[in-house]
């Protein structure tokens, strides 16, 4: 079976995830009780801004036919995985980022939520990569995955420092 998917929508979901991540990190920075965490969250928000710009660039570079590209997906698995990854993303399910941050009782809780966000992003982008052909920016998605993995490493290191 050939499944019609809209590459523009896939990139738009990525933009929204990154916008939500940026909002989360800015809110976390605003609420941070120490300057080190505030600086880290501000830096992560800046990185999310760069990701937003990359997704917007990828979306703008899409050929006209990307609005109705064909993907051979006999079991509808790839699109199902993509939709499940987007639907379960921690920030796709919350319209109120400030509320999410306010529910964190400590800086460690903020780091835990940030780690969940970054891991959810890796899952989404890895799934996205399976449905985006090379000519529509698949290699650039690898770059985003690498960035999110770097965020995970940084957050884990900082979290260990906080809990030591």
Residue 5 sits at φ, ψ, to 5 deg, of: -130, 160
**Calpha distance 79→15 (Å, rounded):** 18
Cβ count within 10 A of residue 55: 24
- Tell me how far apart the alpha carbons of residues 86 and 121 are, in angstroms, rounded to a whole number: 9
Q: Are 100 and 94 in contact (CB under 8 A)?
A: yes
Residues with Cβ < 8 Å from 123, sequence gap 6 or more? 85
What is the CB neighbour count within 10 angstroms for residue 30? 12
Q: Look up the CATH number of the domain holding residue 83.
A: 1.20.1260.10
Domains identified in the chain, total number: 1
Instruction: Using DSSP, state whether 10 is helix, strand or coil.
Output: helix
CA dihedral for 96, 109, 50, 58, sign (positive or negative): negative
Of the candidates 50, 75, 61, the one whose C-alpha atom is nearest the C-alpha of residue 11 is 61
The predicted pLDDT at position 2 comes to 40
pLDDT tens digit at each of 164 positions of the chain? 344 445 677 777 788 888 888 999 999 999 988 898 899 899 989 988 998 998 888 778 877 665 554 555 566 666 666 666 666 665 555 568 888 888 888 888 988 998 998 898 898 888 878 777 777 777 778 888 888 899 899 989 988 987 87
- Domain extent for 69: 2-163
Task: Tell me the DSSP string of 114-163.
Answer: HHHHHHHHHHHHHHHHHHS-GGGTHHHHHHHHHHHHHHHHHHHHHHHHHH
Give residue 53's pLDDT. 92
- How many residues does this entry show for the chain? 164
pLDDT given for residue 29 in this prediction? 94
């Amino acid at each position: 079976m050939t499944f019609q998917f809209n590459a523009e929508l896939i990139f738009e979901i990525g933009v929204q995830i990154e916008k939500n991540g940026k909002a989360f990190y800015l809110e976390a920075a605003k609420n941070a009780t120490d300057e080190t965490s505030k600086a880290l969250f501000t830096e992560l928000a800046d990185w999310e801004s760069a990701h937003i710009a990359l997704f917007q660039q990828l979306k703008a570079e899409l050929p006209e036919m990307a609005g109705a590209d064909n993907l051979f997906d006999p079991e509808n698995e790839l699109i199902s995985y993509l939709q499940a990854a987007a639907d379960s993303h921690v920030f796709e399910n919350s319209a109120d980022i400030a509320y999410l941050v306010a529910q964190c009782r400590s800086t460690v809780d903020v780091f835990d939520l940030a780690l969940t966000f970054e891991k959810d992003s890796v899952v989404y982008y890895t799934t996205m990569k399976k449905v985006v052909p090379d000519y529509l920016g698949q290699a650039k998605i690898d770059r985003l995955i690498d960035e999110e993995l770097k965020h995970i490493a940084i957050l884990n290191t900082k979290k260990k420092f906080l809990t030591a």
